[in-house]
């Protein structure tokens, strides 16, 4: 059995992550998980929130950077910040609300208060202190680099990380397309469907563009959908030979990848809505909109449909259908999978308030398709993998589908690798990126207002 040896963290990372397989410990060892919190969730750009969740000055939401509790806010001057949600006095979390609007935060323990730019504002009975509270060490720690890409806010503790745009690189193209299919290229993030599973966070990321499992793991969902629309609903296109279809997976670098199922669809107004999973009442609403809007209805209904793309931004963000999934590590064998709904806006006044409300309701209810009926299949697999990993002597997990078969792949000028939908090439590439991160020695830093 694999034993610990000399370098970084006590493991030989090249032994744990090999070209065709990975060791069970990368999912099961608490010390490897601890190292990920700095070497992955501190060292690269991590998705924190969407700007539409904090549209106004002094809006805030609470979230996490790895396990670090943080407050993502738009301060009184409009600057987006990620404050450590940790009182500088004795370390308790400062803000215990999910979201709100406030120019300052007061600690529930002893009442120290802070402005939303992180500066300390005051402490109760200051005459009991011989210190100068203007010393920056009393200001809240904050994530030193916070940047947005088209509304998606990311942060990193690594001053040596590239710019966010460089980090994202070619994954920006499918992200742009996913965003731009909505009126004015705009989405508004809504409330979330919150799931959790007893498994390592990477099991979700491994699976995020896996086209190999679909027809087996999601059989009951596909069969349910197949009772409607001549069997052409949802992901039914997987049912024959998925690698022969026009859909594909692409690995774009830095751990990011996507599966693009759009080429399987008929390009016509209403083509997307036609394959949308059924939920009770949707036909009634669709018929009403058709009666009201005539020929325009199909294009408008497509706004409610689930865009057939899985776009995965390493390490914690997926754009799936019309949802945003955030992977939140909790412990080595516990993870939250949070599915945010998204709304559209009537940016140029052509949709109208009533229709917009109906479309956004239909859009929200697509949670009743894959996120509720498919994600539970996936989560069951993740939990059962974690159980299987308790077989200590059976050490290896294979990611070798398509390996040593160069005829299955194509690499473009930007280095993006394209392969058939069931291929594990993206898994092998992203886990190599993970290995390089775990081998590196990033310098992490926090910032405090002066």
Interaction site with ligand FES (CB under 6 A): 87, 89-90, 92, 107, 109-112
CA distance 47 to 193: 18
Q: Which stretch binds Fe ion (CB under 5 A): 60-68, 148-156, 348-356, 374-382?
A: 374-382
Token pair of 336 as six digits: 């939250």
Q: Which is nearer to Fe ion, 302 or 378 (CB)?
A: 378
E strands present in 75-198: 80-84, 99-101, 104-106, 113-115, 120-122, 145-149, 152-156, 188-197
CB of 449 to ligand FES, least distance (A): 18
Degrees to nearest 5, angle at CA 47 with 305 and 159: 155
Q: Which is nearer to ligand FES, 108 or 281 (CB)?
A: 108
- Is the omega angle on the peptide bond into residue 331 within 30 degrees of 0, that is, cis? no
CA distance 81 to 48: 10
Q: Which is nearer to ligand FES, 105 or 370 (CB)?
A: 105
Q: Which is nearer to ligand FES, 104 or 264 (CB)?
A: 104
CA distance 183 to 187: 8
CA distance 420 to 171: 18
CB of 91 to ligand FES, least distance (A): 6
Question: Does residue 206 belong to the site contacting Fe ion (CB under 5 A)?
Answer: no
CB of 83 to ligand FES, least distance (A): 14
CA distance 368 to 209: 21
Residue nearest to Fe ion (CB): 378
Q: Measuring CA to CA, which residue among 330, 295, 303 is closest to residue 200?
A: 330
Q: Which stretch binds Fe ion (CB under 5 A): 92-100, 118-126, 127-135, 375-383?
A: 375-383
Q: Which of 307, 378, 423, 429 binds Fe ion (CB under 5 A)?
A: 378
Q: Which is nearer to ligand FES, 92 or 400 (CB)?
A: 92
Helical ranges in 61-171 per DSSP H: 164-168
CA distance 47 to 155: 7
For Fe ion (CB under 5 A), the number of binding residues is 1
CB of 146 to ligand FES, least distance (A): 24
Residue 191, number of CB atoms within 10 A of its CB:
11
CB of 213 to Fe ion, least distance (A): 6
Q: Which is nearer to ligand FES, 87 or 317 (CB)?
A: 87
Q: Which stretch binds Fe ion (CB under 5 A): 287-295, 334-342, 377-385, 398-406?
A: 377-385
Question: What is the contact mask toward Fe ion in residues 35 to 74, using x (rule: CB under 5 A)?
Answer: ----------------------------------------
CB of 214 to Fe ion, least distance (A): 6
CA distance 103 to 116: 6
* Residues 152 and 317: beta-carbon distance below 8 Å: yes
* Residues 114 and 72: beta-carbon distance below 8 Å: no
Q: Which stretch binds Fe ion (CB under 5 A): 14-22, 25-33, 66-74, 378-386?
A: 378-386
* Residues near Fe ion (CB under 5 A): 378
């Amino acid at each position: 059995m694999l034993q610990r040896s000399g370098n970084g963290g006590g493991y030989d990372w090249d032994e744990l992550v090999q070209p065709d397989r990975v060791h069970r410990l990368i999912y099961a060892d608490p010390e490897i998980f601890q190292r990920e919190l700095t070497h992955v969730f501190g060292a690269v750009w991590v998705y924190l929130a969407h700007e539409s969740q904090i549209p106004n000055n002094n809006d805030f939401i609470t979230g996490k950077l790895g396990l670090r509790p943080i407050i993502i806010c738009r301060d009184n001057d409009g600057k987006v910040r990620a404050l450590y949600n940790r009182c500088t006095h004795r370390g308790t979390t400062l803000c215990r609300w999910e979201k709100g609007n406030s120019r300052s935060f007061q600690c529930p323990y002893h009442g120290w208060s802070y402005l939303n730019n992180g500066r300390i504002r005051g402490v109760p009975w200051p005459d009991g202190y011989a210190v100068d509270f203007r010393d920056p060490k009393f200001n809240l720690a904050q994530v030193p680099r916070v940047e947005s890409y088209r509304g998606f806010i990311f942060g990193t503790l690594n001053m040596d990380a590239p710019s966010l745009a460089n980090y994202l690189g070619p994954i920006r193209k499918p992200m742009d397309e996913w965003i731009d299919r909505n009126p004015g290229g705009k989405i508004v993030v809504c409330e979330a469907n919150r799931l959790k599973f007893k498994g390592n966070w990477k099991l979700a990321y491994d699976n995020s563009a896996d086209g190999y499992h679909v027809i087996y793991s999601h059989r009951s969902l596909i069969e349910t959908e197949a009772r409607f629309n001549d069997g052409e609903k949802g992901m039914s296109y997987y049912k024959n030979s998925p690698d022969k279809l026009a859909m594909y997976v692409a690995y774009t670098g830095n751990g990011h990848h996507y599966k693009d199922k759009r080429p399987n669809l008929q390009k016509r107004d209403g083509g997307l809505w036609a394959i949308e999973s059924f939920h009770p009442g949707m036909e009634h609403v669709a018929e009403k909109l058709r009666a009201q809007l005539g020929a325009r209805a199909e294009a408008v209904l497509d706004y409610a449909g689930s865009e057939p793309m899985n776009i995965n931004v390493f390490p914690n963000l997926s754009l799936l259908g019309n949802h945003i999934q955030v992977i939140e590590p909790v412990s080595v064998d516990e993870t939250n999978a949070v599915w945010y709904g998204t709304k559209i806006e009537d940016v140029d006044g052509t949709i109208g308030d009533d229709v917009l409300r109906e479309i956004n309701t239909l859009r929200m209810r697509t949670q009743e398709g894959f996120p509720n009926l498919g994600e539970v299949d996936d989560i069951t697999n993740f939990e059962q993998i974690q159980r299987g990993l308790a077989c200590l002597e059976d050490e290896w997990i294979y990611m070798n589908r398509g390996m040593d078969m160069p005829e299955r792949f194509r690499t473009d000028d930007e280095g993006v690798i394209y392969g058939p939908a069931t291929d594990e090439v993206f898994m092998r590439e992203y886990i190599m990126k993970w290995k390089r991160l775990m081998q590196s020695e990033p310098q992490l830093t926090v910032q405090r207002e002066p």
